[in-house]
Amino acid sequence: MTRTPGTRLEWHDLAGWMTATLIIGRRRATRRIEPWTRHVAALPAAMIAREADADLLREVRDLFLRGPSGLCQPLRGHRAEAPQTALIVAINNRLAVIAREADRIEPGPNWLAIHGADGT
- Read off the pLDDT of residues 29-50 as tens digits, 9 standing for 90 and up: 667 788 888 999 999 999 999 9
120 occurs within a structural domain: no
Note the pTM of the prediction, 2 decimals.
0.79
C-alpha to C-alpha distance for 38 and 91, rounded to whole angstroms: 19
Q: How many domains does the chain have?
A: 1
| CA diameter of the chain | 67
95 occurs within a structural domain: yes
pLDDT tens digits, one per residue of 58-88: 999 999 999 888 888 888 887 888 899 999 9
Give me the residues paired with residue 2 across strands: 11
Judged by phi (left if over 0) then psi (alpha if -120 to 50, else beta), residue 53 lies in: beta
Domain that includes residue 82, residue range: 2-115
Strand, helix or coil at 116?
coil
